[in-house]
A and B are shown apart, each in its own frame.
Chain A
Amino acid sequence: MKQKVTAAVISQQEIAPGIFDMWIKTDLAAWAKPGQFLCVYPRDKSTLLPRPISICETDGEGKALRIVYRVAGKGTAEFSGYQAGDGIYILGNLGNGFPVEEAAGKKVFLIGGGIGVPPILQLAKALRENGSKQEEVQIIAGYRDRNLFLAQDFERYGSLYIATEDGSRGTRGNVMDAIAENGLTADVIFACGPMPMLRAVRRYAGEKAIPAYISLEEHMACGVGACLGCVVKTRDVDAHSHVNHARICTDGPVFEAQEVEI
């Protein structure tokens, strides 16, 4: 059941310029699915709305979870100052998460771009726990530069391919360039990242006629499906809204790529 709780920060460190890695002690970890997210609330009441942040991974014992986020404004700047022992207001677990079962016995692309990389970690773990072989899990991570946050965490779960915009590591360019350069193929795609990347993934999946599950992002207010702030255009009439809009916070954030118009 969704809950808003005051949890305790276990640890926090800056793992790349402006990228923070925080472990939080909370029982929400016990039922967190890969691709789900938390709403994190600033203490500063001039910044009222929650910041949706994806769950990067859980501790495996259901007692703690990890978020890795970029400082983008006042709210996340505040979070980045939290120390071990500080309270943090979180609402979770939100959203549908990635359909892990769709990967069973298949060659998979796990594509993460920029601050979309973190949720791919728990997904990679879940796929391996669900029986995917190391060589079936192909992780393609796109970064701006040599600050390859989380890259070392991925190597345990699959084959890792890197793309950097400045060419300082791996393939120069984006994740699609890395796929082409390494001659990779897959039966199903899971992706999280900036909109241009997701559009490219959607196009690629359409051409190859393979399913792609993409995690979307939008400005949110309630986080629980009531305000209709964070919608995405859908191909078909949505079962809940009865118009061509689905709620990213509740019906998503993960959608099959061809079912949404992005």
Chain B
Amino acid sequence: MRQGQETLTGNRDREEKALAKARKEEPMNTRITIAGVEFKNPVMTASGTFGSGMEYSEFVDLNRLGAVVTKGVANVPWSGNPTPRIAEVYGGMLNAIGLQNPGIDVFCSRDIPFLEQFDTRIIVNVCGKTVEDYVEVVERLGDYASVSMLEINVSCPNVKEGAIAFGQKADALYHITEEIKKHAKQPIIMKLSPNVTDITEMARAAEAAGADALSLINTITGMKIDIHRRTFALANKTGGLSGPAIKPIAVRMVYQTAQAVKIPIIGMGGIATAEDAIEFLLAGACAVSIGAMNFVNPYTTEEVVAGIEAYMDRYGVEDINDLIGAVK
């Protein structure tokens, strides 16, 4: 009898808790913090797949996202690679855009004011051919309080100079991270390449040089050959592989990196659903980015936000931070 009463009381407690939640008296916490910057939820956009949000604002409410991470911007306009720049492969895609961008002047006068209209964090992805190029962009962005963080692209596999040259050798990564850190007003995220023997070595180098956070993984270098035309599917010959095909590699690398460094990790690579996003959180990422799947379903980002909330509700997770790195 006593036991039964306890059970009844327990049930009532749970019911009241659920009701309180429904009334938003005790809302679940989806807020996360990276380098002192608070995000309303851990869902972001992967650089290069979302422009500066303009095109996708027709489909998703940008106010619902933790952050918009912009397409990489350089100190001057870049034309990018010749076409074809896109090829489909099993369960994914290859791209070799080559970081086409309008340059920092246009970005500051057009893209930042556009994003400032929304209640979401702005993270600007920065690319360059030399350390000086990066520093120039980083310094310009220092004038914008609305830009919360900078993501430094040292891992694009599709440009010949700069970018990945800094991201595949630990000493080069250390050097550029240290230099950028000297000039950056905002906290910096170093975006790591998976095209290395040991990603934890790169992660440690970036951390030691003062990086505030890491994001991974960028695309994996791949190739497709058109057997009918007997040529490369991409004009650039190689391209970066993204999409669901790379997710297990990305989850593994996020897990390994989370074990190796103390700074926060933004995880990405083939995330299509909230379930995928939660895998990354459990592996040790404190935020996630949606990339190629925006192309397949333009509503993906908002659906992942809603799906994470549904998962938390289903399993009674009150604070999303309890999920981060929960699988050891």
List chain A positions with a Cβ less than 8 A from chain B: 1-2, 4, 41, 45-50, 91, 218-232, 240-245, 250
Interface residues of chain B: helix, strand, loop or mixed (majority): loop
Docked Cα-Cα span, A145 to B83, in Å, equals 30
Q: Is the CB of B59 within 8 A of A48?
A: no
- A48 contacts across to B, CB distance below 8 A: 88, 91-93, 243-244, 292, 295-296
Given contacts A46-B91, A48-B92, A227-B95, contact A244 B79 (CB under 8 A): yes
B296 touches A242 (CB 8 A): no
Choose one: A4, A224, A231, A250; the contact of B100 (CB below 8 Å). A231
| Partner among B59, B90, B295 whose Cβ is within 8 Å of the Cβ of A227 | B295
Q: Which residues of A contact B93 (CB under 8 A)?
A: 48-49, 221
Any chain A CB within 8 A of the CB of B11? no
Q: Give, as a whole number of angstroms, the nearest-CB distance from A63 to chain B.
A: 23
Bound complex: CA of A243 vs CA of B78, how far in Å? 7
Pick the residue among A4, A229, A232, A243 that contacts B79 (CB under 8 A): A243
Q: How far is the CA of A131 from the CA of B103 in the complex (A)?
A: 45
* 29 interchain pairs, CB-CB under 8 A: A1-B58, A47-B88, A48-B91, A48-B92, A48-B292, A48-B296, A49-B88, A49-B93, A50-B295, A219-B88, A221-B86, A221-B295, A222-B49, A222-B294, A222-B295, A224-B298, A226-B49, A226-B55, A227-B48, A227-B95, A227-B295, A228-B97, A229-B83, A229-B97, A241-B100, A242-B77, A242-B103, A243-B80, A250-B55
| Nearest neighbor of B91 in chain A, beta-carbon distance | A46
Chain A residues near B142 (CB-CB < 8 A): none
Q: How far is the CA of A218 from the CA of B234 in the complex (A)?
A: 12
A255 to chain B, nearest CB (A): 14
A241 and B296: CB pair below 8 A? no
Contacts of B307 in A (CB 8 A): none
Q: How large is the interface on B (under 10, 10 to 19, 20 to 34, 35 or more residues)?
A: 35 or more
Contact A242 B102 (CB under 8 A): yes
A243 to B102, CA, bound (A): 7
Which residues of B sit under 8 angstroms from A242, Cβ to Cβ? 77, 102-103, 106
* Min C-beta distance of A221 to chain B, whole Å: 4
CB distance from A78 to the nearest CB of B (A): 13
Closest to B92 in A: A48
User: Cα distance A175–B95 when bound, in Å?
Assistant: 35
> Within 8 Å CB of B92, what residues of A?
48
Residue in contact with A4 in the complex, picked from B55, B84, B297, CB distance below 8 Å = B297
Give per-residue flags for B38-82: 1 if the beta carbon is below 8 A from chain A beta carbons, else 0. 000000000011110001101100000000000100000111100
Task: Please indicate the chain B residues that have their CB under 8 angstroms from the CB of A232 in the complex.
Answer: 83
> Which residues of chain B have a CB within 8 Å of any CB of chain A?
48-51, 55-56, 58-59, 71, 77-80, 83-88, 90-93, 95, 97, 100, 102-103, 106, 243-244, 292, 294-299
The winner among B58, B88, B90 for most chain A CB atoms within 10 A is B88
> Smallest CB–CB gap between A254 and chain B, Å?
18
Q: Which residue of A lies closest to B56 (CB)?
A: A226
Given the complex of chains A and B, what is the CA–CA distance between A242 and B77 in angstroms? 7
Residues of A within 8 A of B90 (CB): 46
Partner of B51, one of A4, A49, A225: A225
Q: In the complex, A49→B245 CA distance in Å? A: 13
Kindly list chain B residues whose C-beta atoms are within 8 Å of the C-beta of A244.
Answer: 79
Interface contact B296-A229, CB-CB below 8 Å: no
User: What is the distance, in angstroms, from A212's C-beta to the closest C-beta of chain B?
Assistant: 21
How far is B56's CA from A224's CA once the two chains are assembled, in angstroms?
Answer: 8
* Residues of chain B lying within 8 A (CB to CB) of residue A228: 71, 80, 85, 97, 100
Min Cβ gap B29→A in Å is 31
Chain B residues closer than 8 Å to A45, beta-carbon distance: 91, 244
* Docked CA distance A220–B77 (Å): 22
Q: Tell me whether A222 and B55 are in contact (CB under 8 A).
A: yes
Which residues in B have their C-beta under 8 angstroms from that of A50?
295-296
Complex Cα–Cα for A4 and B88 (A): 20
* Whole-angstrom CA separation of A163 from B297 in the bound complex: 40
Given the complex of chains A and B, what is the CA–CA distance between A139 and B241 in angstroms?
43
Determine the residue in chain A with the shortest Cβ distance to B296. A48
- Measured between beta carbons, the chain B residues less than 8 angstroms from A225 are 51, 55
**What is the CA–CA distance of A17 and B92 in the complex, to the nearest angstrom?**
30
Extra contacts, 17 of them, besides A219-B84, A228-B100, A250-B55 (Cβ < 8 A), are A2-B58, A46-B91, A48-B88, A48-B91, A48-B93, A48-B244, A49-B295, A91-B298, A218-B83, A222-B49, A225-B51, A227-B97, A228-B85, A230-B86, A231-B100, A241-B77, A243-B78
